[in-house]
Structure 1
Amino acid sequence: MTPSAILESALYVTDLDAAETFYREVLGLEVIAKAEGRHIFFRCGVGVLLLFNAEATRQAPAPDAKLPVPPHGAVGQGHLCFAATAEEIVRWKAHLEALKIAVEADFEWPSSGKSSGGGRSIYFRDPSGNSLEFAEPRIWGM
């Protein structure tokens, strides 16, 4: 058996309010759940982006917890890539630059046969320093 898709992805942020503003206003994602001081979840296409305050998720759940999610967390900068067409990447780059959000890298991936059909990527950072990317799915042969 193999998984069919990634349902959710998580990043850890240092300021949930700044993260909510960035992901909602800059990236246009819809908030679907929020727990003050702990997490904020966004709809992203058919998946979900989970943003956690790592300090709040490191503790084990109470013995009588309704949802006994095991402790988790990370320290440092994470990475997440959003799928985008070549035309969308042009628009995303202009949007980010208009908001004075630095695009750290903008390049074409080489075509390497089955695993990559080439494609463009742009990289930028969220307010917590996580590395975000918009890329054409063909960079992974999709």
Structure 2
Amino acid sequence: MTSAPVPSGILESALYVDDLDKAEAFYGEVMGLERIAKVEGRHVFFRCGDGVLLLFDPAETVKPPKPDAKLPVPPHGAGGDGHLCFRATDAEIDRWKAHLQAHGIGIEADFHWPARGDEPSGGRSIYFRDPAGNSLEIAEPRIWGLA
């Protein structure tokens, strides 16, 4: 029996939003992400590092593709608030916290994770919300033992 292949990383992450215009403004203007695609009323996509953040209107993505669709993506979607974590250093987290607060965005939590293994500190995270209520986090990669 051969071992299963292992993905080399996550290429896309999706969140579902009830107002694409508000989400586009937030992720473009506040978070500074580059918009790379948009279909009015359905989705807006942003580049984030070496991955892509997909923002969908869940009422549209649950619809099956039309028989003549050029991109026959199966229906999908989620209900309720999602979660996404952005990577940053501790110094960058300080700058993000000030930036978010300057934009009137409340920080729900700011804490250091407990130490893991030989690490003297488990790393730091801040949590806040996007306009759709999704839980966003900016954290040091070491919270997961990553460099």
Shorter-chain TM-score bucket reads over 0.9
Distance 1:116 1:129, change over 3 A: farther
The aligned amino acid for 1:76 is G
CA separation in 1, counterparts of 2:11 and 2:119?
22
- TM-score where L is the length of structure 2: 0.93
Provide the C-alpha distance between the structure 2 equivalents of 1:31 and 1:3, rounded to a whole number of angstroms.
Answer: 25
> Equivalents in 2 of 1:7, 1:79: separation in Å?
16
Structure 1, unaligned runs of 5 or more:
none
CA-atom RMSD, angstroms? 1.5
CA gap of 1:54–1:83, structure 2 versus 1, over 3 A, is same
How many positions carry a matched residue from both structures?
A: 142
> Which amino acid in structure 2 is aligned with residue 84 of structure 1?
A
Distance, in Å, in 2 between the alignment partners of 1:115 and 1:49 is: 30
Could you list the structure 1 runs, at least 4 aligned residues long, displaced by more than 3 angstroms after superposition.
Answer: 114-117
Instruction: Map Cα deviations across residues 24-77 of structure 1 (whole Å, 9 max, x no partner).
Output: 000000000000000000000000000000000001111221110000011110
Q: Give % identity.
A: 71
Structure 1 or 2, whichever has the larger Rg, is 2
TM-score, with structure 1 as normaliser: 0.97
Tell me what 1:119 maps to. 123
- Structure 2: stretches of 5+ with no match in the other structure: none
CA distance change for structure 1 residues 77 and 36 in 2, over 3 Å: closer, same or farther? same
Deviation at 1:117, TM superposition (A): 5.7
Q: 2:129 touches 2:135 (CA, 8 Å); kept in 1?
A: yes
> More strand per residue: 1 or 2?
1
Q: How far off its partner does 1:116 sit?
A: 10
